[in-house]
Structures are given as structure tokens and as C-alpha cells.
Amino acid sequence: MIRVGVIGYGYWGPNLVRNFMAAPGSAVTRVCDLRKERLSSLGKLYPALKTCSDSTELINDPQIDAVVIATPVSSHFELAMGALKAGKHVLVEKPLATTSDQARKLVEEAAARNLTVLVDHTFVYTDAVRKIRELIASGELGQIYYYDAVRVNLGLFQHDVNVIWDLAIHDLSIMDYVLPARPVAISATGISHVPGQPENVAYITLFFDSAQIAHVHVNWLTPVKVRHTLIGGSEKMILYDDLEPSEKLKVYDKGISVAPGPEDVYRMLVSYRSGDMWAPRLENTEALQTEALHFIDCVENNKQPETDGLAGLRMVNMIEAAETSLRDRGRLINIQW
């Protein structure tokens, strides 16, 4: 039985507590939050659960095996490093840290102590995204041409990070999980419409060594909520709509065929192919349930998480490169792996 302590009971913390409470093989034994009114509401749901307002108290509790961190981004490094040094396994909300240097230190500390670090890239644990990975890995889509994602809504404005850190990291983590190739360079543009606050609109383009391109549009300032991802391949194409209640994933047997003309080998002919559309059956299991069970399995059996510290480091590397580009009006930046 993995005994879990959760730091942070604000927006995401209740979902993590609920799932680790329900997951076989784990038990939440203590929850920490600076706001006592949050802990008071927690006591009504789980009367036997211990609470505290000092994270150090929870981290140093010998009755806790793993620490789950659901706090503002700026605190992730300090809390995660403290937990690792106390010999605890760690699950931390995205992003892993605010800089690649911090993320790298966490990866190294976990490896030195043989401890598990899992980064909560939640969408990786959805049935839809896992099905996309399966379809691409099987070769059913053929050669991947493009990955195009739109993630926009009105708010929630963040004060400590911009829209890239808040929203684009979801699409970057999905892309990192489903695509066999990694981008080698990135260009980003964006703007803030609130004086003194982080950018609320951003456009990111990623380049690969192959004939493949990716684009991510994120925005806190649109009148509607959109969660669309299009993945185009030489054989088939995918539309992933996370807001669709039933058919989140649609696979289209559509595309083009390119062949040399009979008169001139240098003249290419493009013909269009239009076939059926089908929607794969998905279980629609809650992502956090899948993630909690995966974390428990990794801790108990010393396995490498699918969204481990290295995956978290890759995300921070990409976002750092995107921010460098954004500050220089879209200048192309090589991504360091």
C-alpha cells in the first residue's frame, strides 16, 4: 500500500485526492494547504484524513511514501526536491519546474536515489491520446505530415506564467507522446493585452528534420472554448476534439496521391483520395484514474513512468526555447535535447 501525501488542495488538488483515495494500492494519509478553509471542506469529505498547513511537516512525515504536488508553478522545484531528499516518490503537476536547470536537477536527484518522478501531463493518460499514439505507431496514418492544435478559451488568466506555460504545454506533451520524431527548432510569437501581465495569446511553430511540421495556437481571450487537434498523414488523418462528448476521435481515410506526369517526369500530378470516416471506440476512463494507477505501479515495481522526469524536462526545454523566440519576435531557436 502506497501512502500518499498531497500538497495543494486548490483547483486540481481535490481531483488528485479523490483518485488516489479510490485507487487500489494507495491511500491518502495527509493533505497540506496554506488556506485553512480548504482543509475544513476536506475534513467534511474525509473526516479521518490528517491535514496541515506546513509542507515540510508533510514531506518529513515517515508515514508517507509518495508526495503529490498540486501547487503554483514557482513552488514545484523546491517542494519536489525537498520530497526527493526526504526519500519520497513524487508526482508533480505540469510543468515540472520553471527552468530546464531546475528540471534537470530533479531528474538527477531522483535517479541518484532510485525514486519515481511522474509529471502530471494529464492528457497523455486519456483514452483518446493513447489511441492516437497506437494508430501512429501502427503505421496506419503513413508518414506524418503535420500536427495542428488549437487550445483556446476565455480565461482563466494566470499571473505567474504566460499562456504557453499554462495551455501549450498540454499540446506539446501530447505531441511528445504520440509522434515518433522530436522537433529540432521552434518559433513563437505572442502578446499580452493586460498591462504588466504575461502573454495571453501565442502561436508556436515546430520544425522537424523530416518533411513534418507542427503548430500550436493557445489563447485566453476567445469567446468560445476550442480543443481541436488535426494530425495529417500520407494515408489517413485524425481529428481529435476533446470537447466532443462521445466521438472525441475521428479517423479519415482522406488524402492526396502524388505521381509524375506521363509526359514530363518533372511535372507532378496530385490526385485526391476520399474514403470512409470512422470513430474508434474509447473507454473514456478518467485520465487521473489511469495516471494514479500507473504511478502506483511504477513505485511498487520500479518502472519508468510514461511521463517521467525526462519527459518533464523535454517540455521545459521546448517552452524555454519558445519564450526565447517570443521575446525576439519569432526568431527560430534550436531545441536542445
Q: So what's the pLDDT on residue 249?
A: 97
User: Which CA distances in Å does 125 have to 130, 131, 306?
Assistant: 7, 10, 9
What is the set of domains in the chain, with CATH numbers? 2-122+287-307 (3.40.50.720), 124-284+318-334 (3.30.360.10)
Backbone angles phi, psi at 233, to 5 degrees: -125, 170
CA neighbours within 13 Å on the CB side: how many for 331? 8
pLDDT tens for the chain, 337 residues: list them: 999 999 999 989 999 999 999 999 999 999 999 988 888 888 788 888 999 999 999 999 999 999 999 999 999 999 999 999 999 999 999 999 999 999 999 999 999 999 999 999 999 999 999 999 999 999 999 999 999 999 999 977 788 889 999 999 999 999 999 999 999 999 999 999 999 899 999 999 999 999 999 999 999 999 999 999 999 999 999 999 999 988 999 999 987 776 666 555 555 667 677 778 999 999 989 999 999 999 999 999 999 999 999 999 999 999 999 999 999 999 999 998 8
Query: What number of other Cβ atoms are within 10 A of residue 157's Cβ?
Result: 14
Q: Strands across the sheet with 213-219, in order?
A: 268-278, 249-260, 237-241, 221-233, 144-154, 213-219, 201-207, 185-191, 333-334
Q: So what's the pLDDT on residue 83?
A: 98
Q: So what's the pLDDT on residue 317?
A: 97
Of 283, 249, 274, residue with least CA distance to 136 = 249
Residue 268 to residue 266: CA distance in whole angstroms: 6
H or E segment and range at residue 5:
strand 2-7
